[in-house]
Amino acid sequence: MTAASWYHWDISRVVAEDLLAKAGKDGCFLVRDSESVSGAYALCLLFQRHVHTYRILPDEEGLLSVQTIQGIQAKCFRTLTDLIGAYQQPNNGLVIPLLYPVNRAREPVDEDSDGEDGRASHPPSLVPHSGIIAGSTSGWVTAQPNKAQISQQLQLRLQEQVHCSPASDFMGFMAEYLSHHLQIDLEALRNGNLQLRYLSTALVTACRGLHSEIDFTLAGLETLAKVFDPPASPRSPVREQGLLASDPDLELLLSKISTVNHLLSSLEKKVLKTLQETVTKHKLALPSVAVAHPPATKPMAVQSFEVKVGKSQRASLTVDVESGTMAITKKGCSSPEETISQDKILQLIKYQSMQSKVRLVYDRDQHRSLTRDFIFQNARKREAFCQLLQLMKIQHSNLDEPDLISVYVGTWNMGSAPPPRSMASWLTSRGLGRTQDETTAGIPHDIYVIGTQENSLGDREWVEFLRASLKTLMSIDFRVVALQCLWSIKIVVLVKPEHERRISHVNTSSVKTGIANTLGNKGAVGVSFLFNGTSFGFVNCHLASGSEKIHRRNQNYSDILRSLVLGDKRLSSFDLTLRFTHLFWFGDLNYRLDMEVQDILVHVNKKEFEALLAVDQLTLEREKNKVFLRFSEGDISFPPTYRYERGSRDSYVWQKFKTTGVRINVPSWCDRILWKSRPETHVLCNSYGCTDDIVTSDHSPVFATFEVGVTSQFVSRKAPGSSPESLACIEWDSIEVIVKTASRSKCYIEFHSYCLEESQRSGENSSQSSDIPGFLKLSWSAKQLPVLSPILSDLEYLLDQHLLLSIKGMDSCESYGECCIAMRSMIGSLAQQFETFLFHRGEETGSMRGWMKVRVPKDRRSTRERLYEWISFETDETESDFPTLSKPALRAVRSRPLSLPDAASSYTNPAYFIFEGVPNTWAQCPSLSEPPYSPASDTQSDRHLGHSPCRRLQSLTGAQAYSSSKEQLQRSPHYSVPETTSYGHQLSPSQIERHKRPKSAILSRDPQTSGDCSLTALHMAWCLSDMDTEPPKRGSCLSPSQPEGRKNLLRHTRSALEPPPQSCWEGARSQRDTRRFNRAGEWPCGNGDHPRSVGMWLSRWGLEQYEKGLYENGWDDLEFFRNITDQDLLEAGVLSPTHRKLIQAKLHESSPRSLQKGPSLKPNP
């Protein structure tokens, strides 16, 4: 039986509206599953270019009725078909009768080697309503199947499997069933008989020999179990049933298998319990079998690094993790020049422009700190040095709970072959690509997450093999957190023993995406849990294969995203990617390279991976926002991992001979690891590569390691206050939302957070506009928005919290989009502006922006430095190799915590452009360079710590207009467009860790055509949703000589984590400070003069993010700034104890005269 053509199952609201918009006639309709009520439906009806959604609800007796406007009597129907037929008549409470059904796209059966169905996209067809029900009153349309054709297709698939299956006898029984009895079962099914009688008979016959084997095994197991049973233990009733049964059937066989499974799993525990009772009862001393203590963790060896200090001086850095010290020894000297303990190290600054350089800031004595620059042999050595110092800090910290953990993620398609004896290279991240240095490869990670596909090993066997491998390598007996399997797709999560108590709320789930989403040869398995107060999600998937099956893979991803049940049940209505602090998605994604095989091989031999990434299907689909929206992936610097010749990694085998012909499998990066984290959290990818010595499969194993910030279960040290002034609160000034929808429904906002006792909801939106077809603009004022009260008022607790918001329709209670806002950037006495994207079921559905603040009581503002906050990133190289500066260095240091790699988007939802008067011609702009300087944006962005999709915006003081002799357009105060712009390219968000495509590979957009303005608006939105922001060119920043009115159109927000080039930064800050102070003698005339402002002094030490807070608290003069106290710094927003200590140390070691000239970075002798 097949469903009625107008019933589209569980498609999303966005897809339904898109189908109706393409149909374009008033009275077009379709029915889908409701997203808000289980077992209910949603009737979507198009009228005057707007989609009206009605809920179809079942009552207690199962009768269906449409929820209509008040005053209309609801009519009840037994079937969905009866209901639709009745509402084809006028005057039934709908805005227009149901006239034209929009039918489902056909789903032809795909006959490729994997047996997967391919979903082809067809335009919706309009069928006269008189023909939508073909003699059916049950709600389903029955169709006469071509039984012979179905039987032939299934026999063909069976023949393909016979060659690779050892069960030839079993396949013979199945072949006979497909040839002679399948058509009989099909006929019975068509007549309503759901019992496949002939299939059951065939299975019983094929499994007859299994009965005797199970009886033999079961008898032996029960005999052994009786030895350890109490004397009065009764005989197993299941076993007696099996002995008395003479006619075996499937039910009995399943009972026997279940009994075997139960006995095997319980026998070990039963024997252990019996032996323990015997020892206790008879007080036996058995020293020979005493419990062996697990081997102690291998002590960390002392590691040495050869570095260059200054331009030519050589030295050796020795790191002793166990003793907590670092020594600096000049070349040729036998004794260390200086030994620094871990508690004296204040900050590490990694240079981005020079990947092998690092700056160390440390205390020499109580009132003086020094800086030293070191240049390592390569970037890998620098990262190893930083990891060792990080590990040294962690081991010698006095914290009861960790702030930072390391996570290992591995994925491997094993090709149905057993693994090799040693998987050391995979588990220690060694091989090709960005790999671990040998000095840190042996350091055990806190969490190991290992996903496999086509894994032929048994579940228990595979887990024990992994644990034994890790114990051999790390001398640690890792504990099993979870194991989830779907056929041959497996995911295993292992943790260190000391973390086992920190793991809670473990959930597992699986989704089948094989043939008709019923077979588990393709699909996904997932695990989620809480590590103290941080939520983790892990998804291992195996998507559809075949170079041409891009759409099917995208659909697999959507099905998994929608159906995987993980995380907090209270967040089940939210997009899966928003439910976790950190979500890792990996597996055999099966996306291929769209290039000829020989061309691929040439690029691989030359290691020209950028050219291959330009035609990588996953990269292209991500750029189109089809899959993995706002996910991150490490840089791919290793060759394609599929399809190798088994037994070697020297050559690829791209031809696969099948009975249906030769199939070409081009070398591709099928095996991938991606992740998505909430804004303003800490995650850093330290390695991403594949092995080159594991050759049992045609896939190479892939690994990635991450440094992840975690939070503890916070316990307040102070009793909660009773007065309003002693409690924290979250206040909203206004919220504005734009969603892609053809609906005109009123909406409300739901607020969820772990810091709230229960979810809250707003009132109905105060205003709305749908002037632009395809978009709905909604607004809420402070009156409609609730004041939220966190369960704890401590700043340290609130800094790590996030708010989840969902926009829901008043009529259907279905979500129009969800988002996540980090509270860290919103803390303060003044409202801050935010902006974030809206997501729903893996799609970008709109944008939200507004003003909010998180007020924290003064006596609750104490905090502490996290173990990952002492490492910063230097984003612009402005100094010489010497640590001494001859002129002021304007550095932009990215301090943590932050989510790395930050996908800080420099554009917003395209709907804003449409609503705020920007013409469609701007939709083809391929790049937006850095916006001109704005005082508000600069000071705000200095304090910004977020990452896309949520970020703080600059303060706005009214609309800004711009006009000139060229095309001068009124614009939004939020955006600007560069003066030099090229057109005609596909636009995509280009972020850190997103692979840049060569210019030659960028696709051109089709030109805008005239026609239905609703489609034009939607096309424009999709074009702008794919924007690719190129880095600004040097000299493009607005200089002081340019007119003040020369400002760009379509302004986009600059993230503080992505500062412009140094020349632009200097020019912008020079303008700002000149305008702000404008006092004679306070600001230098040239770049070579010493800084004489607080902001310039702070920039020397990478602490310029505190400039705005200091200015707001009156610390805008260097003469007075020298006398600032620790409490003054805390009140000005310098929350990091290390940063406060660093500021005061630098101020104390500088005289008033030298302070005016600017402190020197040259280390004191």
- To 10 degrees, the CA torsion angle through 749, 754, 757, 760? 0
Give the pLDDT confidence of 681-740 residue by residue, as tens digits.
999 999 999 999 999 999 999 999 999 999 987 776 666 665 666 789 999 999 999 999
Amino acid at 124: P
Lowest mean pLDDT, pick from 480-494, 581-595, 750-764, 923-937: 923-937
Residue 1144 has a pLDDT of 83
Lowest mean pLDDT, pick from 404-418, 561-575, 801-815, 921-935: 921-935
DSSP state of 535: E
Q: List the one residue out of 1126, 1138, 681, 1132 whose CA is nearest residue 865.
A: 1138
Residue 414 has a pLDDT of 97
- Whether the model clears a pTM of 0.75, i.e. scores above it, the answer is no
Token code pair at residue 324: 């907590």
Please answer whether residues 778 and 747 qualify as being in contact, where contact means their C-beta atoms are separated by less than 8 angstroms. yes
Residue 1074: band (very low, low, confident or very high) from pLDDT cuts 50, 70, 90:
very low
Residue 955 has a pLDDT of 32
CA distances from 407 to 404, 427, 531, 538, 750 (A): 10, 12, 12, 11, 33
H/E stretch holding 524: strand 523-531
Arithmetic mean of pLDDT over the chain: 74
C-alpha torsion sign, points 23, 29, 31, 34? positive
Residue 69: band (very low, low, confident or very high) from pLDDT cuts 50, 70, 90:
low
Please answer whether residues 494 and 481 qualify as being in contact, where contact means their C-beta atoms are separated by less than 8 angstroms. yes
558 has which bridge partners?
none
Residue 755: band (very low, low, confident or very high) from pLDDT cuts 50, 70, 90:
very high
d(CA 512, CA 105): 21
Give the mean model confidence (pLDDT) for residues 145-160: 58
Give the mean model confidence (pLDDT) for residues 927-947: 35
More confident residue, 196 or 501: 501
d(CA 266, CA 228): 12
d(CA 54, CA 542): 37
Residue 713 has a pLDDT of 77
Give the mean model confidence (pLDDT) for residues 892-910: 39
The DSSP line for 434-487 is E---TTTTTSPPSEEEEEEES--S-HHHHHHHHHHHHHHHHS--PEEEEEEEET
Residue 544: band (very low, low, confident or very high) from pLDDT cuts 50, 70, 90:
very high
Token code pair at residue 38: 């289980």
Share of the chain above pLDDT 90, in %: 41
Q: List the one residue out of 496, 566, 574, 570 whose CA is nearest residue 529.
A: 566
Give the mean model confidence (pLDDT) for residues 646-671: 89
Residue 703 has a pLDDT of 98
Tokens 């009552």, residue? Answer: 59
Instruction: Find which of 262-271, 873-882, 1073-1082 is predicted with most confidence, using mean pLDDT.
Output: 262-271
pLDDT of 551 above 60: yes
H helices of 167-236, in order, are: 168-176, 182-190, 197-206, 208-227
More confident residue, 1055 or 13: 13
pLDDT of 678 above 90: yes
pLDDT of 1129 above 90: no
pLDDT of 1160 above 60: no
Q: Would you call 809 helix, strand, or coil by DSSP?
A: strand
Residue 865 has a pLDDT of 77
Cβ count within 10 A of residue 596: 11
